[in-house]
Amino acid sequence: MNANRAEYLSHKGVMIEEFSSILKNVPPGYFIDATYGYGSHFRLNDKYEHLDFIGFDRDLESIENSNNDDKVYQLNFSQISQYLIDNDLNPISGILYDFGVSSHQIDSLRRGFSFQEDSDLDMRMDQLQKLTAYEVVNDYREDKLIHILKLYSEDKFSKKIAKAIVKSRPISGTKNLVEVIKNALPKQNPIYTNKTIRRVFQALRIEVNNELNEIKNSLEAIKNLISKDGVIVCISYHSLEDKIVKHFFNELSIDCICQPIIPVCNCNTKQEYVIPKKKKFVPTDKEIKVNPRSKSAIMRYAIKL
């Protein structure tokens, strides 16, 4: 186990109590923690003995700092389903996706996730992959850069910022990038400037890690591996993630869409999951006070019929 384990132990996962309340009613079997992180959600394995937790994380540092007793493997979201099939571990009782960037990744001065400290333009969740934020910022064509900033940041100044980035190349680090973004923006309240910078960093991070496609592909692949009364639980941190989850759950919960006048169903649409009455959870004021980074979190889940 890595000597830096202490850095991981001081952090608590988002909405632990709310997630725990969902686990009470799931059937016995394997439960997947798709984003092991600090192992905070994984600790519930001690409380629910009917569940056998298996963890995954694309960040090798998370694996190296995991508890020695935990079963944790390095895989992306989209690879989890095939692992379960190959190892005869399905159907599973449920899966938790926490789509957030871990505090360790944000706070690490060498990872480049934060715009508040100077760092390399990295932003890789998996340090073994080749694409980094440096290549996106310095090598992408202007039209491609405009596209990803518009799509993933949804900021109204995306085009101006992309043009400024191309004009300012080479950009060497996060501090340099922040200055380029600031100079591309009109004079305004610093609060709004920081929001734009945060959105641009979000867009670059999503592109580097192919985050939205990972979410879509993994959800689609896992839906048929859940046992009856099992659950898919998702914690999102921005609207792009939450929209994917809402759309996916809505599609799973649709029943026959034939017109009522048709005597026999021919649409072949069959409801697979049910969405509970409480459609989403958000952090309490108390949790937000203790962990401000949880403020934007939304947790949704669906139950297999």
| pLDDT at site 11 | 63
Provide φ and ψ at 302, rounded to 5°: -135, 145
Q: What is the mean pLDDT of the chain?
A: 92
3-state class (DSSP) for residue 243:
helix
Q: Residues 96, 56, 291, 174: what is their CA dihedral angle, to the nearest 10 degrees?
A: -130
Provide DSSP, 79-112: HHHHHHHHTT--SEEEEEEE-SPPHHHHH-TTT-
| pLDDT at site 194 | 96
Question: Are the C-beta atoms of 112 and 167 separated by less than 8 Å?
Answer: no
pTM of the model: 0.91
| pLDDT at site 257 | 66
Sequence-distant (≥ 6) Cβ neighbours of residue 144 within 8 angstroms: none
pLDDT per residue, tens digit, the chain (305 aa), is: 333 433 444 467 899 999 999 999 999 999 999 999 888 899 898 899 999 999 999 999 889 888 888 999 999 999 999 999 999 999 999 999 999 887 778 877 789 899 988 999 999 999 999 999 999 999 999 999 999 999 999 999 999 999 999 999 999 999 999 999 999 999 999 999 999 999 999 999 999 999 999 999 999 999 999 999 999 999 999 999 999 999 999 999 987 767 677 777 776 778 999 999 999 999 999 999 998 989 999 999 999 99
| pLDDT at site 10 | 46
Retrieve residue 151's tokens.
Answer: 């799509």
Calpha distance 275→300 (Å, rounded): 9
| pLDDT at site 4 | 41
Which amino acid, one-letter code, is at 152?
A: Y
| pLDDT at site 301 | 98
